Amino acid sequence: MENTKYVHGYSEREALRLNDQAETLDDIIHNDSIFPKDSLVLEAGCGVGAQTKIIATKNPDTNFISVDLSEDSIKEAKGMIKSLGINNVEVKQADIYKLPFKDETFDSVIICFVLEHLTHPIKALHELKRVLKKGGTMVAIEGDHGSTFFYPDSKYAYAAINCQIKLQKQSGGNSNIGRELYPLFKSIGLTGISVSPRMVYVDSSRPKLVEGFIKNTFTAMIEGIGKDAIRQGITDSITFEKGIKDLYRTAESDGVFCYTFFKGFGEKL
C-alpha cells in the first residue's frame, strides 16, 4: 500500500474476519454482482480471496483476475481457490496504482473494501479505469462507519468506533468513504453512475447477522484496532473496553444494530 500501513493488519484473525464478513454480507452486497458470460473481470485488492470465492462461484462462466499488494494474502487466496476447486480465477500480486495490464484489458472491474484504505483513491480509480474497456463497468463496494447506529445507545461504543476512524485517517484512509462513491465515480468521468445504499439491519430475530455481522464482522474489526489506539494515546484501555462491551451488548436479545454499505456501478464511455 502506498506509504501506508493497512489499519487492520494481515493476521490470521483478520483473514477469518474478512471471510466472515464476506459470507455474512453475500446477499446484501453481491446479489447483483453478476457479470456477462465469457467476460474478463479484474478484482482489485482481493486480500485473502473472501469476496473472490463468492463472485467467482456466482459467475462460473466469467473469468477473473484477482490482484492484491500483499504477498501473504495472495498466497492464501491462491490456496483457498485451489482447495475449493474454483477454476475461473487467476490470482496475482499487483499494485492498484500501477497495474501490470494494458489499457482496456477488462470488461469489468470490481473493488470491494479497498478504497477506504487508500491515500489516493482517485488515482487508484483512474488506474482501474485505464485497464477497463470502453463500455465496461466499474463496481465499487465500500462501508461508511458514520452510518452506524444501535440500541442500546452508548457514547463509549461510538468513542471506540471513532478510534478506528482516526487510525484509518492517520494511515491515509477514510472509513466514511461509502458516501463518496458517487462523487468519486463522477470525478473520474464515469457515466450512468448508480449508487445504492445496502443497509444491514440486525436484531435478535436475525441470529445469523447477530453472529456474523455485529459480533464477527463489525465488533471484531473495532476490537482489532484497540491495542494500536491505546498505544497511540487515542483512547485508554478502560474506555475502549467499555465501548467494546457496549457494542457486544447490542447483540443481546433486545439489541439493534444498523450499518450501511454503498455499492456503485459506473460505465466508461
Ligand X SMILES: C[S@@+](CC[C@H](N)C(=O)[O-])C[C@H]1O[C@@H](n2cnc3c(N)ncnc32)[C@H](O)[C@@H]1O
**Of residues 156 and 219, the one with the C-beta less far from ligand X:** 219
Answer for which of 42, 54, 80, 112 binds ligand X (CB under 6 A) is: 112
Q: Minimal CB distance to ligand X: which residue?
A: 47
Q: Does 68 bind ligand X (CB under 6 A)?
A: yes
Stretch touching ligand X by CB under 6 A, among 91-99, 100-108, 154-162, 214-222:
91-99
Q: Would you say 73 or 235 has its CB closer to ligand X? A: 73
Compose the 35-64 pattern: x for residues touching ligand X by CB under 6 A, - for all others: ----------xxx--xx-------------
Find all residues with CB under 8 Å of 24, minimum gap 6, and list them: 208, 209, 212, 213, 216, 217
> Which residues 6-25 are close enough to bind ligand X by CB under 6 A?
6, 18, 22
116-129 burial: b if 16+ Cβ within 10 Å, else e: bbbebbeebbebbb
Cα dist from 65 to 54, 91, 114, 149, 167, whole Å: 14, 6, 16, 36, 31
In angstroms, rounded to a whole number, what is the distance separating the alpha carbons of residues 161 and 173?
Answer: 15
Count of beta carbons in the 10 Å neighbourhood of residue 194: 11
Our finding on whether 212 is near ligand X (CB under 6 A) is: no
Cis ω for the linkage preceding 152 (within 30 of 0): yes
Among residues 35, 106, 113, 185, which is the contact residue for ligand X, using CB under 6 A?
Answer: 113
- Least separation in angstroms between residue 148's CB and ligand X is 17
Separate counts of helices (H) and strands (E) for the chain = 10, 8
Does 175 engage in binding with ligand X (CB under 6 A)?
Answer: no
Cβ partners under 8 Å of residue 1, min gap 6: 69, 117, 118
> Looking at 17, 30, 53, 117, which residue binds ligand X (CB under 6 A)?
117
Kindly indicate which of the ranges 81-89, 95-103, 161-169, 238-246 contains the residues binding ligand X, using the contact rule CB under 6 A.
95-103
Number of residues located near ligand X, criterion CB under 6 A = 22
Q: How far is the CB of 73 from ligand X (least distance, A)?
A: 5
Q: Is 184 among the residues that bind ligand X (CB under 6 A)?
A: no
- Binding ligand X (rule: CB under 6 A), the pick from 56, 96, 115, 214 is 96
- CA torsion, ordered 239, 242, 248, 250, to nearest 10 deg: -100
Interface residues toward ligand X, by CB under 6 A = 1-2, 6, 18, 22, 45-47, 50-51, 68-70, 73, 95-97, 112-114, 117-118
